[in-house]
């Protein structure tokens, strides 16, 4: 009986070495997520707004909102991202951060365009709803 138990353990170890499983960190780095939502200003959709997502100071992707204010960015890996919203390519309205661990819906609700402009590179937190 001991001999069969030892053989079974050796077989399991051999299989693990020959076919290693995926570690949790490998799984996280392989998974891809989406982030989507609606950008609104004074409860109205932000048309042709630019949503830019970056990580560690490097731009990853950007999306121009439609007439309905919706944006959708796909193929993102696990991690912390900075999201900025611009009314035009030059005027940044707000900036926020999200820890992406799953597919995320993030609505960004601004009160007015003039009060959310970033001046002198000072970040303004985006009022967001994450679900």
Q: Which pLDDT tens digit goes with each residue over 31-51?
A: 899 999 999 888 899 999 999
Structure tokens, 131: 């679900």
pLDDT < 70 positions in the chain:
1-29, 88-90, 112-131
pLDDT at residue 10, rounded to an integer = 47
pLDDT at residue 33, rounded to an integer = 94
Residue 104: half-sphere exposure toward Cβ, Cα within 13 Å: 24
pLDDT at residue 124, rounded to an integer = 45
| Rounded distance between C-alpha atoms, residue 109 and residue 102, angstroms | 21
pLDDT at residue 56, rounded to an integer = 92
Structure tokens, 12: 């399991």
């Amino acid at each position: 009986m001991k001999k069969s138990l030892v053989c079974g353990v050796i077989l399991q170890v051999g299989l693990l070495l020959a076919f290693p499983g995926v570690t949790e960190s490998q799984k996280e780095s392989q998974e891809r997520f989406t982030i989507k939502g609606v950008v609104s200003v004074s409860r109205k959709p932000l048309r042709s707004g630019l949503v830019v997502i970056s990580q560690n100071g490097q731009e990853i992707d950007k999306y121009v909102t439609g007439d309905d204010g919706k944006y959708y960015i796909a193929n993102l890996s696990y991690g912390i991202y900075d999201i900025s919203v611009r009314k035009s390519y030059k005027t940044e309205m707000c900036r926020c951060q999200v820890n992406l661990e799953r597919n995320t819906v993030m609505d960004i609700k601004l009160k007015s365009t003039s009060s959310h402009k970033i001046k002198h590179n000072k970040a303004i937190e985006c009022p967001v709803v994450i679900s």
